[in-house]
Structures are given as C-alpha cells and as structure tokens.
C-alpha cells in the first residue's frame, strides 16, 4: 500500500519556496516525481490539492501519498488457484474475488500470476504479466485465460484485438435495468486519476446489457430494488462494466468506486454493508484455441454473489440462459 507521509513546513521561511522544490529536498526525490504526484492529487497542502508551483509561506501541513515502487520480477509462490482447464498451451482459471491478477505497486506478491508463473514459458508477454492477455479487477471474480507459450499468447491477443472473444459477466445493479447497448467512450477521470469515466475523446467502449431478473425487491419489499443483468463485452476497457452501469444510473451493488454514496435504506442495508466488493462475476469465456478448436467455459457465481440472490429470493433457470 502507498506510504502516507505528513510534514510540517517550518515557520519563518526566508523566502517563498516552491512546493515541489521543498518536497524534493526533504523527501530525497526528484522534482519531476513530486510534480507527478501533485498532478495525481497525491500531495495536499493543509488538506487541499495544490500545484507543484505552489509557494510555501511556512507553517503548512503537507500530506504526501507516496507511491510504492512496483516489483521488477514475478516470483513463483505456492498459491491455491482454482483451475478450470489446463493443457500444454493455456490455463483457464476461476479467479476468486479479492485476488489481484498480476504484481504491481502495492501488490508485489500473492497475485494470481505468482501462483501460475512456474507454468508459463520464459519471455511470454510482459515481465510483470507473463502469460496475461486480459485481466479482471481485484474484487471481480470469474474466468480468465492465461497463455503458457508465446504462440498461444499471440493467438489469444489477436482475438482480443478483433473482439472475437466471448465474455459475458453477471452483475447485480441498483434499480430496474432495461435491455440496452451502452456505447460510451471511456478514459481517465478528469480529476480523480485512479478512476475512469465516460469522457469525450476516450477509447470506444461497448457493453451489451440484458436483464435476467429486473426490479428485484428486498425480502420486505422495502429499500428499493436491484436487477440481475448479463453484460456482454464487445470491448475490454478498464472498469468498463462498472463505469458504464454507473453512467446509466444503475451502479453495481458493493462497488467502492462507482457505487451508491451512503447506505441503502431498509432491508438492503445489512446485505450491502457485508459485501467485500462489487457484485460482478466473469461468468462465461469463449475463445479459439491455437489448434483451431472453439472453447467455451461457464462458471457458477461465488457464494457472496449467490447469497444476495438468495436474500432476494431470485432463482435463475440455467437451462433458459
């Protein structure tokens, strides 16, 4: 996790000094690095975001959310990974919610690929993402394919590029959702850089939404309704389903970034309060194997997701899906 540092600027500075210059000296960091932190909103002066060029008068309290450097290699670890299918070319896993896909700043170990890297040939893909051709968010569960060879990596990568991969997600969203296609470009949030948003000039993102059970009330019939929906991805942008559903007024239950602000009312409150993350599951994954065979996998929703369905007394006939 990032290391938060709090510093007090001494009173009585002889002359006004730039924020980035003062922090560079006192944190032994380059001014360019401090400037980047300021742009990312990681530096607060008396609790407010400020530019790198802000002049310090003395007496200010500086709060710096200092990022941790990412690891440079992936070390194999003995981690229990739910494997759905494996052959000489690839592995299909059912990632549990709460597991990060690959190492990065703040997550140097304990990731999905730490548990699988020993199965992947050297040099396949990126150094910190060996074999990874796509990913799903930490708190999203479900199916993911990992390439074991460069041949397979290139084959799968091409399918993701031309959108021929089949990806279907189940999600629980607030409100009564209607069938629709969301075609809205996505990019970095203009002010909250860790988030994504619908932005003009962003990358094209298309999500096809089909309600499976719409307008589900809580057991008591109070506190609003939710919908169980299937989201089929035509593109694969970061946080795509979560941002698209929020953009149409139906954010996902339990989403810490894009969910409803504040607690829901009445009967839903204890249910949502106990959720560990967004109710989103990568349920179906289909692709062409390097040998030419079309492969399609389906997975059951995890216990937490099923618990919400049980609470709402929702039964889905899988033969009708």
65, 87, 137, 139: the catalytic one is 137
The pLDDT score that the predictor gives to residue 204 is 96
Q: Is 137 among the residues known to form the active site? A: yes
Q: Name which of 24-28, 128-132, 279-283, 299-303 the model is least confident about.
A: 24-28
pLDDT in tens, 194-205: 789 999 999 999
Q: What is the CA radius of gyration of the chain?
A: 23
Task: Decide if pLDDT at 287 tops 60.
Answer: yes
* Nearest-angstrom CA–CA distance, 138 and 98: 5
Domains of the chain: 3-66 (3.10.290.10), 70-162 (3.30.2350.10), 163-321 (3.30.2350.10)
pLDDT in tens, 58-103: 888 899 988 776 676 889 999 999 999 999 999 999 999 999 998 8
Nearest to 172 by CA among 122, 209, 219: 209
Per mean pLDDT, which of 57-71, 105-119, 298-312 is the most reliable? 298-312
Average pLDDT score over residue span 235-255: 95
Nearest to 139 by CA among 263, 298, 279, 253: 279
Q: How confident is the model at residue 20 (pLDDT cuts 50, 70, 90)?
A: very high
pLDDT in tens, 125-158: 988 899 999 999 999 999 999 999 999 999 999 9
Mode of pairing for the β-strands spanning 186-188 and 125-126: unpaired
Pick the residue with more confidence: 103 or 12? Answer: 103
Task: Decide if pLDDT at 264 tops 90.
Answer: no
The pLDDT score that the predictor gives to residue 223 is 64
Q: Torsion angle, CA of 82/144/153/286, rounded to 10 degrees? A: 120
Task: Decide if pLDDT at 189 tops 80.
Answer: yes
Q: Name which of 45-49, 133-137, 163-167, 245-249 the model is least confident about.
A: 45-49
The pLDDT score that the predictor gives to residue 1 is 43
Q: What is the rounded average pLDDT for all residues in the chain?
A: 89
Degrees to nearest 5, angle at CA 67 with 242 and 280 = 15
* Nearest-angstrom CA–CA distance, 280 and 137: 9
The pLDDT score that the predictor gives to residue 320 is 46
Is the pTM here over 0.85, yes or no? Answer: no
């Amino acid at each position: 996790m990032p290391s938060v540092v709090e510093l007090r600027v001494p009173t009585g500075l002889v002359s006004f000094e730039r924020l980035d210059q003062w922090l560079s000296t006192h944190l032994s960091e380059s001014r360019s690095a401090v400037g980047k932190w300021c742009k990312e909103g990681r530096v607060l002066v008396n609790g407010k975001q400020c530019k790198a060029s802000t002049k310090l008068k003395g007496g200010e309290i500086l709060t710096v959310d200092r990022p941790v450097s990412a690891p440079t290699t992936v070390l194999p670890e003995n981690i229990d990974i739910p494997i759905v299918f494996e052959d000489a070319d690839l592995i299909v896993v059912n990632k549990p919610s709460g597991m990060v896909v690959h190492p990065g700043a703040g997550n140097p170990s304990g990731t999905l690929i730490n548990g699988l890297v020993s199965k992947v040939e050297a040099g396949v893909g990126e150094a910190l993402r060996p074999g990874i051709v796509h990913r799903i968010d930490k708190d999203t569960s479900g199916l993911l394919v990992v390439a074991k060879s460069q041949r397979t990596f290139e084959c799968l990568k091409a399918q993701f590029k031309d959108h021929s991969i089949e990806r279907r997600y189940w999600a629980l969203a607030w409100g009564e959702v209607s069938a629709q296609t969301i075609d809205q470009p996505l990019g970095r949030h203009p002010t909250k850089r860790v988030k994504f948003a619908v932005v003009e000039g962003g990358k094209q993102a298309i999500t096809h939404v089909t309600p499976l059970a719409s307008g589900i009330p809580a057991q008591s019939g109070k506190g609003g309704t939710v919908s169980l929906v299937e989201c089929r991805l035509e593109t694969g942008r970061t946080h795509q389903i979560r941002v698209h559903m929020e953009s149409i007024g139906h954010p996902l239950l339990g989403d810490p970034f894009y969910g409803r602000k504040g607690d829901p009312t009445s009967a839903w409150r204890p249910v949502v309060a106990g959720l560990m993350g967004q109710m989103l599951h990568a349920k179906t994954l289909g692709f062409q194997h390097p040998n030419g065979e079309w492969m399609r996998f389906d997975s059951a929703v995890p216990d937490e997701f099923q618990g919400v369905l049980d609470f709402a007394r929702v039964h889905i006939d899988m033969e009708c899906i």
